[in-house]
Amino acid sequence: MDSKEFKIRRATMVDILALQKMAKATFYESFIDITPEADMQEYLEAAFSTEALLAELQDQDSIFYFIENVVQLMGYGKINFNKVPYGFSEMPNSMEIQRIYIKKEFQQCGAAGKLMHVFFEEARKRKLHNIWLSTGSLNNKALSFYSKYGFETIGHHEFPVGGEMFDDLILLLNKSQ
């Protein structure tokens, strides 16, 4: 199957082990070059434990999606509702894009863009105009990707991974314009 031929489906409770494996693998791939191994392992065990992911899957204000081809999972994404960006007291009509992770071997084939369109459609159905996310301030690849969709920086916060602190930018896209 061509790498551009893929489908997106909502992840459910029965997907917990696949989600856990994908979440750990893609986070590790994305950040091991800038994160000490001990800090990375501490973060992976806490953030992607079975208990943590089950709680996230059960959260009525969150949706996980898998993107896959007929052979394997290529990546995943997660959106949240009724959450406010770090340092903000409110943000009406908003949706957070919390995660978009695509395995390195499938990057540059349009998978992340397909997830973005699914996320935008979910926001449209719910009449949510403010779409926000946070990403590493030094993650030029992600910043370039998000800027193509019109996201703009509105703030920043620190993101802990083990004993390391990373500067994340908070980006916003207003779809009401």
- HSE-up of residue 49 (Cα within 13 Å, Cβ side): 8
DSSP β-bridge partners for residue 94: 130
| Strand pairing report for 7-10 and 94-102 | unpaired
Indicate which residue of 65, 76, 101, 146 is catalytic. 146
Encoding tokens for residue 68? 């896959």
Nearest CA among 114, 174, 177 for reference residue 145 = 114
**Dihedral sign of CA atoms 112, 53, 172, 123 in order:** positive
Active site residue 65: no
What is the C-alpha to C-alpha distance for residues 22 and 148, in angstroms, rounded to an integer?
26
- Active site amino acids: 146
